[in-house]
Amino acid sequence: MTIAVPRMGNLSQIIRDVARRFDLETLETPPFSEQTMEIGSALAPEFACLPLKAVLGSFVQVLAMGADTLVTGGGHGPCRFGYYGEIQRRILEREGKQFRMVVLEPPSVSFKAFHDSLRSLLPRQRVRLPTLLNELSQTLSKVVVFDKLEKRALALRGLEAEPGAVDAALEEAQAIVAAAFTRKEIEMARLEAEARFRQVPIESGRPHLKVGLVGEIFVVLEPFFNFDIDRWLGRRGVVVERSVNIADTAYPMGRNPVFGYTERAVARAADPYLSHEVGGDGLLTVGASVIFARRGFDAIVHFLPFTCMPEVIAKGVLGRVSSELGIPVLSLSIDEQTGRAGVQTRLEALVDLAWSNRKKGAARLHAVLS
Amino acid sequence: MRVGVPRAMLFHHYGEHWLHFLEKLGVEAVVSEATTGSMITNGAVHADNETCLPVKVFSGHMLWLKERVDVVLVPRVISEQYGTLACPKFMGLPDLARTLDPDLPPILSPRIHLGDRRYLWAREWYGVARALGGTRLGSATAVAGLLYGLEKHRVQAVARPPEEGMRIGVAGHLYNVHDSRVSLGLLDRVRGMGAAPVTVDQVLPSRARTQAATLSRKIFWGYESRLAGAVLHWSRTRSVSGILFVTSFACGPGSMVGALLEDQLAREGSVPLMTITLDEHAAEAGLVTRLEAFTDMLKRSSRAAGGRLAPSGAPGRAG
């Protein structure tokens, strides 16, 4: 049994960790490319959203490479993601592919369904439940460390004294953490990785912009679809903070350890603009934007896949957030035809606008003080 | 006080119960006019450009009500059946409505959450009733009446007099199918071609639920689950000659359920299925041509099958 899991941000690192813990044979899905999107868009329903097409394309590629078990996430709505697995299975079967599709239900929907689908992937059937849970919780703590490292890199990239220093540190830090497996090792690796980050030369006095990155998790985390926004903004001296992380999505009880605001705090912040859960990351997008605006960020960049239901609602609502809290918001809707140049022109305009707002604000402050 | 109710979206499901509720409270209800072309244009200009057609139509109705009422009732529908959820657009609809125009009258948004068996959401309706000036007893009666109506709506099918001719199942959201401007008079056009349209609300919900339960993965959207169940019921009992799947541009659940039904019906060897996608630029000529082709195909195949009502064998797919 060769297992393949779709790619998304740090997910492949996590899969490697799980595979090592349970002796699974996994096959890494190839990075997203033009070709992946072509295959995916040709097979998928016309109005399906971008992640479905991208994942479908990479499933076709990985099946050709020899995988026979496809794993994807489930859910009970109202976001379309919960139905992806079923539609993709039907499409691939129609194409005459031989495979098994395992839909991992999130434990919050039904622990039994989660447990059953997970068990069906484990070759060693004699793993006892407490062992299984213990291993998974260790993986989860590793995911938190991975995402915190990335958060650190996003905050530092705009201030690095020499270009590429943060990326080099991040790569080394990730390698250190990837080699840790027990709780103690993970904690040691975390300290070591943080020490590695302290060596990065920083110009802390440099004037910089602060930009909040919000939106749908897949397009926010996958550099192929957001045109590597993290590094693009970093090169322009922008400090970035983002609302969505794999660790926060997987962490129980809505505690959001990486983002730092609990689900309840996010819902409270969003309440004047969006007062009900709308599925996916919609409420988080609105709540995080309000939190960023209150913390004095200069701008917000919102990424969404074209026609994504929760994010389209968030996009509509963000207009009101922007005008009432006085923060520029740029919503970028991504589909298979989005061009790099168009996105970057708009991002450049946003950065210029934020700088000119900053200068105007400084001038006003000067006028008040003198 | 004049309470506005937009004639769009779930008004086509629950409107009569909402109006009944307002009537019991003794407030004047103003329902927006039937959809017009200028309403759609106005809504499309003010609403977010990526939302689906029904939300744009809804926005047009909201703007029509703006000058005419003191307060607008936009219930927030969370679920329509036990164990399902509504489309996210229904959940965020009052919030989307508030972003349309800063000068809109205040919006009342009590929840409807039929999947919640404890009925805690009924309190919000009581609050609304009190805010609209109902007495305690009057408000309680109005809420009880509303709950009774919604519950009845959940389990009953709509009865319409049977029509002459070959039966065609029209599977689509009621706010698209029953709005003759949005659907470009689809039902009447089908009638004009000598066929009798049957809609999803005419299928008994329990029957649809049984059929939907046979799918390999449960559909978690309430109305889509009923729609898929109805389509499977029509196709498996051969009670229609063909099925029109009507969806609107950028409809999220529609894109998934459409793909699912196409695949499922192709596997089962069912009656022909044609998908029609509506948007604000839809032209009548295109629709008429496709409908004519579809009905002609159905008539010819039923004649070829020796006058049997429904053709069997491999499904034909147009469009």
- Which residues in chain A are closer than 8 Å to B96, comparing Cβ atoms? 313, 316-317
Q: Please report which confidence band the pLDDT of residue A166 belongs to, taking 50, 70 and 90 as the band edges.
A: very high
pTM above 0.95, yes or no: no
Check CB contact of A295 with chain B, cutoff 8 Å. Answer: no
At B220, the pLDDT band (50, 70, 90 cuts) reads very high
Give every strand in the sheet of B28-31, ordered side by side.
Answer: B28-31, B2-5, B71-73, B107-108
Extract the tokens encoding B273: 């299925």
CB-nearest partner of A45 from B84, B220, B255:
B255
B51 touches chain A (CB under 8 A): yes
Enumerate the residues of chain B whose CB falls inside 8 A of the CB of residue A319: 48, 99
Per residue in A72-127, pLDDT (tens digit) is 998 887 899 999 999 999 999 999 999 999 999 988 888 999 999 998 888 766 78
Contact A255, A156 (CB under 8 A): no
> pLDDT band for position A205 (50/70/90)?
confident
Using the Cβ of B287 and the Cβ atoms of chain A, whether some distance falls under 8 Å is answered with no
Q: Can you tell me the distance from the alpha carbon of B112 to that of B15, in angstroms, rounded to the nearest whole number?
A: 13
Task: Identify the pLDDT of residue B314.
Answer: 41
Q: How far is A274 from chain B (nearest CA, A)?
A: 6
Contacts with A94 (C-beta within 8 Å, 6 or more apart), sequence order = B263
Closest CA to B91 of A215, A106, A282: A282
pLDDT digits (tens, 9 = 90+) for B122-179: 999 999 999 999 999 999 999 999 999 999 998 999 888 888 889 999 999 999 999 9
> With 60 as the cut, is the pLDDT of residue B317 above it?
no
| Gap between the Cα atoms of A159 and B196, Å rounded | 69
- Minimum mean pLDDT range among A139-148, A353-362, B87-96: A353-362
Burial B143-156 (b: 16+ CB within 10 A, else e): beebbebbeebeee
Q: Give contacts of B48 with chain A, Cβ < 8 Å.
A: 312, 315-316, 319
pLDDT over threshold 60, residue A267: yes
Nearest to A77 among B76, B221, B249 (CB): B221
Cα dihedral across residues B141, B143, B149, B151: positive or negative = negative
Q: Are A61 and A39 in contact (CB under 8 A)?
A: yes
For chain A, the average pLDDT equals: 92
Confidence grade of residue A204 (pLDDT, cut at 50, 70, 90): confident
Contacts of residue A276 in chain B, CB cutoff 8 Å? 76, 78, 91-92, 95, 111
Please give the pLDDT value at position B258. Answer: 94
> Taking CB atoms and an 8 Å cutoff, what residues of chain B touch A333?
50
The residues, any chain, with a CB within 8 Å of residue B300's CB and separated by 6 or more, are: none
Query: Distance (Å) from the C-alpha of residue B118 to the closest C-alpha of chain A?
Result: 19
Q: Which of B58, B82, B99, B251 has the most A C-beta neighbours within 10 Å, making it the best mutation to test the interface with A?
A: B99
> Mind listing the pLDDT tens digit for each residue in B10-56?
999 999 999 999 999 999 999 999 999 999 999 999 998 889 999 99
Interchain CB distance below 8 Å, B256 and A313: no
Interfacial B residues in 217-236 facing A (CB < 8 Å) = 217, 219-221
| B217:A85 CB<8 A | yes
| pLDDT band with cut points at 50, 70 and 90 for residue A243 | very high
- CB-CB under 8 Å, B86 with A47: no
Cis status of the peptide bond prior to A78, with omega within 30 of 0: yes
pLDDT per residue as tens digits for the range B166-214: 999 999 999 999 999 999 999 999 999 989 999 999 999 999 999 999 9
Residue B313 has pLDDT above 70, yes or no: no
Partner-chain contact B220 A78, CB within 8 Å = yes
Distance between CA A243 and CA A303 in Å, rounded? 11
Question: Among A210-214, A297-301, A365-369, whose mean pLDDT is lowest?
Answer: A365-369
> What confidence tens digit (pLDDT) does each residue in B249-276 have?
889 999 999 999 999 999 998 899 999 9
Question: What's the pLDDT at B42?
Answer: 94
pLDDT digits (tens, 9 = 90+) for A313-370: 999 999 999 999 999 999 999 988 888 889 999 999 999 999 999 888 877 777 776 6
Given pLDDT bands bounded at 50, 70 and 90, which one contains residue B306? low
**Residue B315 clears pLDDT 70, i.e. is over it:** no
Q: Write a three-state SS string for chain B.
A: CEEEECCCCCHHHHHHHHHHHHHHHCCEEEECCCCCHHHHHHHHHHCCCCCCHHHHHHHHHHHHHCCCCCEEECCEEEECCCCCECCHHHHCHHHHHHHHCCCCCCEECCEEECCCCCCCCHHHHHHHHHHCCCCHHHHHHHHHHHHHHHHHHHHCCCCCCCCCCEEEEEEECHHHHCCCCCCCCHHHHHHHCCEEEEEHHHCCHHHHHHHHCCCCCCCCEHHHHHHHHHHHHHHHHCCCCEEEEEEECCCHHHHHHHHHHHHHHHHHCCCCEEEEEECCCCCHHHHHHHHHHHHHHHHHHHHHCCCCCCCCCCCCEEC
pLDDT score of A370: 63
Average pLDDT over residues A174-185: 95
Instruction: Give the Å distances, CA to CA, from A265 to A271, A290, A291.
Output: 10, 11, 9
Q: What is residue A124's predicted lDDT score, i.e. its pLDDT? A: 66
User: Is the predicted pLDDT of residue B312 greater than 60, yes or no?
Assistant: no
Q: What is the pLDDT of residue B229?
A: 96
Token code pair at residue B52: 């689906």
Whether B307 shows a pLDDT value over 80: the answer reads no
- Per-residue model confidence (pLDDT) at position A96: 93
Beta-bridge mates of residue B76: B111
Residues of A in contact with B219 (CB under 8 A): 83
The verdict on a CB contact (< 8 Å) between A310 and B96 is: no
Q: At what angle do helices A309-325 and B93-100 cross, to 10 degrees?
A: 40
Structure confidence at residue B117 (pLDDT): 84
Task: With cut-offs at 50, 70 and 90, classify the pLDDT of residue A159.
Answer: very high
Contact B215, B152 (CB under 8 A): no
Least confident of A46-60, A331-345, B102-116, B296-310: B296-310
pLDDT at A109: 83
Contact between B256 and B226 (Cβ < 8 Å): no
